[in-house]
Structure 1
Amino acid sequence: MLRVGLTGGIGAGKSTVARCFAALGAVVVDADVLAREVVAPGTAGWHAVVERFGPGVLTPDGELDRPALGRLVFTDPAARRDLNAVVHPLVAARREELVAAAPVDAVVVEDVPLLVETGMAPRFPLVVVVHADVTERVRRLVEDRGMSEGDARARVGAQAGDDERLAAADVVLDNPRRAAGSPDPLPAAVEDLWRDRLVPFERNLRERRVAAPRPRGGIRAQQQRVARLVARVAHAAGVGDRAVEPVDAAVLRGAPVEDVVELQLTVPSTADVARLEEVLAAAGFPRVVGEGDGALHGSADPGSPARLHVRVAGSPDRR
């Protein structure tokens, strides 16, 4: 199973991409759908929201008045935190239930609007960001969803900025404004991504196979890729980012870019090397071979070749 995080700023086109993935056979877990489910009338989430915000956030038939609630929380950071404290744990629990029920060979696409804001990106072996610039997203919210420009800008401003979101992306699907009558580029882009990267990535994970290296380009892109891989390995291993470092740290200082990122994870003992084998494999790094007291893992992602040296503290340094 491959778990893919899908996100994008409001109005970017994330829902279109999710529908494309579903049509290709992905198991799509939509956080917005789950967020509605966990606050349906009579649920524990519904009671908690009404207790915090009062009956003014209900429609006459007892449903949550989502536009009214949205106006409250998107202009009040404290209210937004309170709402998130109710909804996010309930959504997370339901999401894990659905993922656990997916087939072992599934590509599970988890549609999470606030994936970056909630620090979830390192949990996924691959993150896809749907991108459109702020001006275009505001236009879509006003023209397509009937929001006022003030409400639209408040919604956009409550989310992560473009730079932060793009830094978390392994894949960026651009969705700019199109001329009238021009085709939507997203379905073809999603199909290419599915065929060329996600399907082989899932197969590699299931078969514990490392992907062959492919050329990469661009110092800045490489810096961001290294940072994402470090955060991903650290999260999977349950350690701080300082326990994971590039074997050739010069790559972060602007040295020539290599095709394969080399990382080193330092652990306390050989028992930790064994304990982390399956954990790292699930995060996208199946084991290749033993290395003295440690082990060599490799990336199963055909679009992001990497080697991960798991080293016991005090043993010879791979660098």
Structure 2
Amino acid sequence: MMKIAIAGIGGVGGYFGGLLARHYQNSDEVEIYFIARGENETAIRQQGLKIETPGSTFTATPKLVISDPAQVGEVDLLICCTKSYDLEQSITQLKPCISKDTIILPLLNGIDSYERIKAVYPENEVWEGCVYIVSRLTEPGLVTVTGDVNSLFFGSTDGTEARLESALQIFTDAGIKATLSQNIQQTIWEKYLFISTIATLTSYFNTSIGGILAKTENMDLLHSLLSELKQVANAKGIMFPENSTNAIKERMAKLPYETTSSMHTDYQKGKNAEVDSLTGYVVKLGKQLNVPTPTYEKLYTALKNK
């Protein structure tokens, strides 16, 4: 029996965990557990997790939804979908789920999740991953997906090939658009190039992605951020395709006008935001690598003071 736990049942964990829970609800081979808290845990326990997408609505019921990891027990695969600022705290609290054989797969917005998890669990197999999706936990027990982008990429430079292939099969069988990336570092950096700049700008200007595209001054800042982040990435040995800036603008233009970043949504709600992972980390890396990031520094300072 393969035991999979999803920690953090928000927009990302709820959608991908929901697909897994729906498909494997009566399976003798795979068990899906949700680790959730508060009203969300209560709502899912009472009526399942409802997922609304532009094409369909379904309700998923995991084997168990609980806030206490000890009641889940040790699992084969732990998928972490918590916020990046909570990572150390949450991964430590999840210790009852983690044996020496547990694989940990973070699906977070930053690019330093692997190192941060390895610092806490150096003996474990830690994979890397990222997702492209616009989804929110709109109320307890309800995940709403907008747009038609919902893909998951994962991989590992030193992971067990058979276990990676097995996970890919489990994901795709559940209807997840999953890709086992042969160069996951490149994949994650390409996602980061998009999400870091978008999250920073939508939060700084307090506007949607459509609002960014609508003003020349906003686009000038976007170009500056992209240029600085690419230089930092280059210093790390990551190269982007020639057309990457245009590709990002095209991806932005395809999204509904009112689409925004989860970081901007957190700012609007007065909640803790992922500014250190999505904006500050570029400044930090720039200093380490002697690459100037003046635009990122200016916006990071402004966002920290919001």
Specify if TM > 0.5. no
Using the size of structure 1 for normalisation, the TM-score is 0.27
Higher normalized contact order (CA 8 Å, seq sep 6+, divided by chain length): 1
Using the size of structure 2 for normalisation, the TM-score is 0.28
